[in-house]
Structures are given as C-alpha cells and as structure tokens.
Structure 1
C-alpha cells in the first residue's frame, strides 16, 4: 500500500497503521508533528522564529512518542493526502476501538462545523474552490492556463484503468515530484495499491500526453460533493516543465465543473491557488479519545491545546 508505512484495514473504512512511528505523515502523528513540520518551517520561516519553531517541533515530537499518539486508527482514510467523507457522524458513532484513539482527518469548519467538537488538532491550511463556475472559471490566470493548454498541442487522457507502462510512468512522475523533490514523508504508494484504487473507482487518472507519452498527470478522488487531487506529477525534463503544472490543473477542475462538485486543492502553493479562486480553510483532525487512560488522553489534548494556540501563526504562514 505505502512503501513508507505498513497499514491494514481491519474493517472497511478503517485504516490501522501496523507499526508505530512510521515515516508517512498521513498515517503517523509523530511524523506530522516532527520531521514534516520542520520541513515546512525550513520552507516558510527564517531567523530566530524558525529556530524556535524547530526546537518546539522536536519537543512536541518527543512528547508524542512518549505518550503513544501513534497508537490510533483512522476512519474513512484511503491513505490519500485529503480524506473525503460522506457521513462523518456515522464514522464517529458506535464503540471506539479498544486501546486506540479514533481519528477522522481532513475536517474544516467550512464543511463540518456541526461535528467539530472534542479533541481537535488544527494541522494545515487547505484551499477550496466552492463553486468552480463562479470562483475559478472567470479568473484571468485560469483563462491564461486554458489558453496555454489549448495552444500546447498536448492531448488529454482520462483513465480508470492503466496499462503496466502507463502505471509505471505515472508512479515515476509522482515519486520524482512528491518523494524526491518535496519530502520522503509523503505517501509513497505501491503500484498495486494505486491499481486497487482505480479498480474500486476511488481514483481516476487525468493526463496530458505528447506523441502518446504521458508528460503530466493528476489523480482525482470524488466523494459526496467534493473533488480532490491526491496525486500529481509532471516531467520536469520537458522544455515547458514550468507550464505543465499550470496546465495539468485545468482538467481536474473541468471535471468538477462537469460534475457539479467543489474542489479541495489541499495545502501549499498559496499564491497560485488564491489567484485561481480558492479560499483558505484550516483543516482539523478530530480525535475520539474519551475511552483511553488519562495519561493518553492528556497526550492528545495537550497537543491539541498547543496546536490551537499556534493556529493564528499557522494561518499566517500558510496564506502569505
């Protein structure tokens, strides 16, 4: 499934990391609080504030390991960077798993205000296009992206199954961008798991191709009223590599337009996404921990208190 995290699915819709302190931020709270937070600090902050933030991250990571925060299962988690939910209340109902916290990812006050209570962790800022026809289509930068794509000579592809060479190409482009360039803590998917997601209808692959070769792709994931883009890659050896990212972002939002969906563009690239009509929203983890011993509840709740205290700084750094 993930090369950097062993995960099982004990029941449908419930993901359980089978080893603590794994290397993938979508399945490990200590990785999210520690090395991934420090990568973001290095990218976004400088000076004494950055030094202080890195020291704090090391301290919080150590506290997370000490209090066993990774001893948890995730509801509605397909191991994608953004989890989409059709019924969050149902995922929180029923008895919690013995000895483990139950975590629901990717919640925002924008979409889930009615159930955001209890132990909450603000973890990142995501960018959402509520109405692509109103917020995305009229934008000047979008018009330029669409014109560039129309003039590029590239062919669009849409796949629900991939041949072995196509899958190998997609995985190479994804890993080159998300693992090699960005972070080894991003999900490192095994090809077989991607093929499973395609077969189950949880992913579709959109491509831009030149002479039959995939030069850029994105995966789309749709549930309820939302489309997300959990995987993306482009050939940075191409002479138009800088333009490929802008162009590959056109097909998924065209798909959202055609299906009447809003779009969750995940985190990062604030200026790019703002200029194309997306608005920032804090994304939370909701953690059911009331059934745990007091010392474990303290770990989740103290970390949540600290993260909520830092939430204004998170918003400022992520949206500047």
Structure 2
C-alpha cells in the first residue's frame, strides 16, 4: 500500500475542502477550516464560533460532552442509572454554554474520529504554532484532539509545557506492532478464525480501490447504516462525494468486501507515518450474514496492518471483542489551553475538565470493561 507523507496528505485534504466545501462533503463538519504550517510539515485546523449546536462531535466540544453523551447512555443501556445522571448532564450543558466551549481553535483537526500526528514535531515547534494561534485568536480556546500517551507521549509533554491541560475524551485501543503470526496464541487464533469466515461464505476482497461514483454511493450507505443508524447522528455525516474524493486523491485507502458483485462491507484507512486508523467502516445490516461481517472486516484491518507494518489504532467500540484480538486500552485526551481567556470562561472550562476527569473517565472505564 502506497501512503502519502503527512505534509502531502494534508495538502490534498486542504485542496479537497477548498474545492468542494464541507456542505457537500459532510454537512455537520461545516465550520471554518484550513491548513497551517508547523515546523517542516502542515496540519489542518478547525475554527468554531459557538453559533451552531448541530455540528459533529469532532469539531464541537458541546456536541461531544453533551449531545453525544446523552446518546451514549441509551446505547450502553443505563436504564435506572440514566435518571441519576440526567441532572449532572444538564449541569454540564449549562457550564458548556457559559464557557462558550465551541468558540475554539483546534490544531491538527481533520474532523475525523481520530487525528494522527506526524512524528517529526518537537516542543519548540508546538510552542511556536500555539503562540501564533493564541495571538491571532485571543478569544478562542485552543484545542488539540486525539492525544494518547501510547502514541503521543512527546506531544503530550510538549503541550503541557505550552500551558495545555488534559481533558479525558475517550478510550482507544492500540494493537501489537508486529505481524499477526507473532501475536499471543489465543489472540492470533481469534483473528485467523475471523479471517477464515470470508472464504467460507464465498466473500472476497477488493483492495486499494479507486472508487467510482456508484461504489462511493454504496460506501456512504454502508457507513451510514453503522455510524449514523446504529450509533449516533453526531458522527461525521460523510457524503458519497467525500468518499470518492478521498479515494481518488489517495487520502484514504479503501477496501471493499464483495458478495458476488454486491458490496457488503467497506473500509477506509488513513495512515500517517506508519500509524493507521479506520475512520470509514461499514457493512450491510440487511445481509443474511450481517452478524459476522464485522468480524470479517476487523480481521482484514489486522491483516492489512500486519502485511504493511502499520501500527494499528482503533476506537474502543466493541471493546471486549478487540481486546480479545490484541487491543490494549489507552486513554485519549483533548488538550485544552484557556489561560488567555476571561476568568469566567476559565472557571467554566475548569469545571468541565473536572467533570470529564472525575465523572466521565471512571464511567467510561466502568462500562467498557
């Protein structure tokens, strides 16, 4: 699999967004965005003004810690506990509004579920870019999403040095950085068993696909069935144009699972400096074998990373399933800098961070283990 340098990937991403605009690529990512220099590379950014409450959680702190959390309580089936959590959730919403949390500038934010970081960044480069952003956006909180100590310990320490504070966002899973054949026997057996299901069912893979318009439409449908239908409308609402452009610009690497000539599963992988994540995954929920399609898809992700020597990064969805196949839980943080804001906004941000660390963090660990 041929991958782009981080700089080239960001340049192509920026060109795509400038040409088409978010309104036609993913309507709930429609905020100011662009690319900026940091050291010798480029990173994307998003800038929000607290003017909408319908944006995706990847560009809206309000959506992430309020709307998304409300939906998560239904997804995990809290029942009685949900009624106990409603009052503090209302309180969170109150403070989120008063802190104007969506009046924020996010560095290295693609708007995808996970932002990967170039390995070339150092503390001096972080300090330089943060100083510039703070000077030009004095009324915006400054955010850096998707930071975990397993992959980004140097970035984490550099951001702490720049005055950022960590705010718990979610758990993620990192997988062993080695071929499947070197995994522990029990975990290797689970992956190989899943991998064998495809041939048994007469399914086959198309890899490194440059999507045409019809394929892109089908990929959008499969993604929507899973991420918007089963999970949350607050996930990115990618259009078929987004998939077509990302595929043909080599921004994301698409693989299609076929039953005969019909596409029943799809993967879209992003790779930065040898680290992979999967912002696009979907399968046909109406297929007779829908219950095993997810297993086939995740086995293909493991195989692709193994064959290309990629470090695999994954969300904590289906947490126990992924741990059985080698995943190791890591906490992910949104790094927040508010020292330049008014005292009132700093106090509200401080309360939000406290709620995320002291309530959101333990609850997440409780319901994912």
TM-score, with length taken from structure 2:
0.80
The residue aligned with 2:35 is: 11
Residue 316 of structure 1, CA deviation = 2.0
The residue aligned with 1:175 is: 224
Aligned counterpart for 1:234 among listed residues 268, 283, 296: 283
Matches within 5 A, 1:50-199: 50-87=82-119, 89=122, 90-91=125-126, 93-94=128-129, 95-96=132-133, 97-98=136-137, 99-114=139-154, 115-116=156-157, 117=160, 118-133=164-179, 134-135=182-183, 138-199=187-248
Contact 2:198 2:204 in 1 (8 A): no
Q: Which has the higher helix share?
A: 2
SS of structure 1 residue aligned to 2:207: strand
Mapped to 2, the partners of 1:45 and 1:162 lie a distance apart of: 37
The residue aligned with 1:20 is: 52
Aligned counterpart for 1:244 among listed residues 293, 300, 307: 293
Mapped to 2, the partners of 1:64 and 1:92 lie a distance apart of: 27
The residue aligned with 1:38 is: 70
Contact 1:207 1:216 in 2 (8 A): yes
- Which moved further from structure 2: 34-43 or 264-273? 34-43
SS of structure 2 residue aligned to 1:82: coil
Contact 1:160 1:201 in 2 (8 A): no
- Which moved further from structure 2: 296-305 or 56-65? 296-305
Contact 1:141 1:275 in 2 (8 A): yes
Contact 2:30 2:55 in 1 (8 A): no
Q: C-alpha offsets along residues 147-205 of structure 1, whole Å, 9 cap, x if unaligned?
A: 11232221211235211100000001111221122111111013333333334432111
Question: Stretches of 4+ moved more than 6 A in 1?
Answer: none
Contact 2:168 2:357 in 1 (8 A): yes
SS of structure 1 residue aligned to 2:47: strand
SS of structure 1 residue aligned to 2:69: helix
**Change over 3 Å in CA distance of 1:248–1:240 after alignment to 2:** same
TM-score, with length taken from structure 1:
0.92
Contact 1:23 1:185 in 2 (8 A): yes
Mapped to 2, the partners of 1:135 and 1:77 lie a distance apart of: 33
Contact 2:95 2:348 in 1 (8 A): yes
Residue 293 of structure 1, CA deviation = 2.1
Question: Superposition RMSD on alpha carbons, in Å?
Answer: 2.1
Mapped to 1, the partners of 2:142 and 2:248 lie a distance apart of: 28
1:317 equivalent to 2:367? Answer yes
Mapped to 2, the partners of 1:32 and 1:245 lie a distance apart of: 25
Gaps of 5+ in 2: 1-21, 37-43
Mapped to 2, the partners of 1:200 and 1:301 lie a distance apart of: 41
Contact 2:108 2:115 in 1 (8 A): yes
Mapped to 1, the partners of 2:248 and 2:346 lie a distance apart of: 39
- Which moved further from structure 2: 253-262 or 287-296? 287-296
Gaps of 5+ in 1: none
SS of structure 2 residue aligned to 1:21: coil
**Change over 3 Å in CA distance of 1:92–1:238 after alignment to 2:** farther
- Which moved further from structure 2: 229-238 or 193-202? 193-202
